[in-house]
Amino acid sequence: PDIMQAVDMVARFQVGPKESHVQVVKRIFRYLKGTMEYGLWYPKGKDFTLTAYTDSDWAGCVDDRKSTSEGAFFLGNSLVSWLSKKQNSISLSTAKAEYIAA
């Protein structure tokens, strides 16, 4: 989940990547190599209440002014899923961008 935003942003340029995009991907790989001991842990016998958090940026893409939705989903205190997705429409307010994200 810690690289989700960076991967989402660089993936938008996979059709016609520039050298700067390749450098970003290499930086992501270096980060992953340095954090291989990290992981997601799910202890048994704990509370498994499902909790979801969502957020969005407003008009975060400078090319088309579309917003990006993000979300994180937990069972108890353990992360089980996450998302980052560019919204399909242009939001005219932060409230609309947040509503679409939810």
Q: Starting at the edge strand that comes first in sequence, how are the strands of the sheet with 78-86 ordered?
A: 50-56, 68-75, 78-86
Confidence of residue 86 (pLDDT cuts 50, 70, 90): confident
Residue 48 vs residue 53, higher pLDDT:
53
Question: 16 by DSSP, 3-state: which?
Answer: coil
Let me know the angle formed at the C-alpha of 49 by 58 and 87, rounded to the nearest 5 degrees.
20
| Per-residue model confidence (pLDDT) at position 91 | 87
Q: What is the pLDDT of residue 19?
A: 95
Q: Where are the domains of the chain?
A: 1-39, 42-102
Mean pLDDT value of segment 45-66: 86
* pLDDT of 51 over the 90 cut: yes
The pLDDT, as a whole number, for residue 73 is 93
* pTM greater than 0.85 (yes/no): no
**Residue 33 in this model has a pLDDT that exceeds 80:** yes
